Structure 1
């Protein structure tokens, strides 16, 4: 589970919220698949609306410019972000995201390796609404500042607790990674983060960094599927 602080600036969050206040919203059950539909209670911005599509495309551009996101997910395909809203006791019970998703507007499919929630509401704007993710270390409770995001394996059971007051708005998406193996992806992320930290140390010889880059990219060659 990787936290990405300020994926969106406060100004960008405000712009997104202003647009989302003007677009049509649908019952979230319409997009739920299988057993998830029985536990999903929320609203979802109409993905066919031109303003929603423009917002999703803008957010895809933000994803591509986030070095931490790219390092953690090594994305091959990204599902166009969806925007959801919870209020008045709405909730999304424990579920697992569909393993295979059909991309909108074409016949391509995506294997969901990573899921991501980008928070668009400040935590003091609503009561409840925590994202609960089951991990090998127990349940992790996530409720971040507006503009922050959390990236986690799509294979995890997770839920959103009831929003008992206020309104929780967020963007969600799914990614197919170039590296499907979770442990290898985690190892590559930690290695890359170490390399990035060493780059800030002027006393580290360039030859040593080149050696680490060599190892990193050769591991990606061995582990990636394209």
Structure 2
């Protein structure tokens, strides 16, 4: 399941995040890559420290507090966020994310875009699937979430600077198809309620959605 989510960061929060990143030091991103991904990773990441810890807390809270992300990912835990930048000529070649990070199983990968798309060229997140490649480049403050099992890459930046926050979620529902089914049921349930109120049909949908989540949840 691939989903884009608007306005995870509102403009005021986005400016605060950019300001905090502007005062941080960055280092070679290859230090956190696996042995094979290190061969194709060419970016910089915000350096560990107290300022990064505060920034992670702020942005993680915004992500976890967004209703659509919560329904799509069913997050049990998040890894510490990584704040990465790509200057002109930099990219991240094809790779798959590590299955475990910081003791957390990676079920859902996500990228939160922090730079306005008109300020840089290239830098699309390219996600591979059986139907081909899908390129994603979103407005600042918007997020894309997708299955961590996917091969993906970041296209070369040819002008300006790409700035993103990336992270991974362990889901209460390990299977992607089940997460998508729960998301669709929840969407249908809410649309029905908005149109007709609390009807017997709504109650059946609510019952089925809750019981499927109960059946599939890993706690």
TM-score (ref. length: structure 2):
0.96
Corresponding residue to 2:202 among 181, 200, 209: 209
Q: Write out aligned runs for 1:164-183 (5 A).
A: 164-183=158-177
Matched, 1:188 2:182: yes
Q: CA RMSD in A?
A: 1.0
| SS of equivalent residue, structure 2 residue 213 | helix
Q: Write out aligned runs for 1:24-39 (5 A).
A: 24-39=25-40
Contact 1:113/1:153, CA 8 A, preserved across alignment = yes
Structure 1 position 34, deviation (Å): 2.2
| SS of equivalent residue, structure 2 residue 160 | strand
Contact 1:27/1:43, CA 8 A, preserved across alignment = yes
Q: Which moved more, 1:192-201 or 1:24-33?
A: 192-201
* Cα shift readout 1:164-192 (whole Å, capped 9, x = no counterpart): 11001000000011111111111111111
- Once residues 136 and 100 of structure 1 are traced to their aligned partners in structure 2, the CA distance between those partners, rounded to angstroms, is 24
| SS of equivalent residue, structure 1 residue 34 | coil
- Once residues 170 and 222 of structure 1 are traced to their aligned partners in structure 2, the CA distance between those partners, rounded to angstroms, is 35
- Once residues 179 and 34 of structure 1 are traced to their aligned partners in structure 2, the CA distance between those partners, rounded to angstroms, is 29
- Once residues 100 and 44 of structure 2 are traced to their aligned partners in structure 1, the CA distance between those partners, rounded to angstroms, is 23
Matched, 1:223 2:211: no
Structure 2: unaligned runs, 5 residues or longer:
none
Contact 1:116/1:150, CA 8 A, preserved across alignment = yes
Structure 1: unaligned runs, 5 residues or longer:
103-108
- Once residues 129 and 109 of structure 2 are traced to their aligned partners in structure 1, the CA distance between those partners, rounded to angstroms, is 14
The ranges of structure 1 where at least 4 consecutive aligned residues each deviate by more than 4 angstroms after the TM superposition are: none
| SS of equivalent residue, structure 1 residue 83 | strand
Which residue is equivalent to 1:8?
A: 9
Contact 1:24/1:49, CA 8 A, preserved across alignment = no
Which residue is equivalent to 1:53?
A: 53
- Once residues 206 and 130 of structure 2 are traced to their aligned partners in structure 1, the CA distance between those partners, rounded to angstroms, is 31
Which residue is equivalent to 1:69?
A: 69
Structure 1 position 64, deviation (Å): 2.0
- Once residues 193 and 4 of structure 2 are traced to their aligned partners in structure 1, the CA distance between those partners, rounded to angstroms, is 22
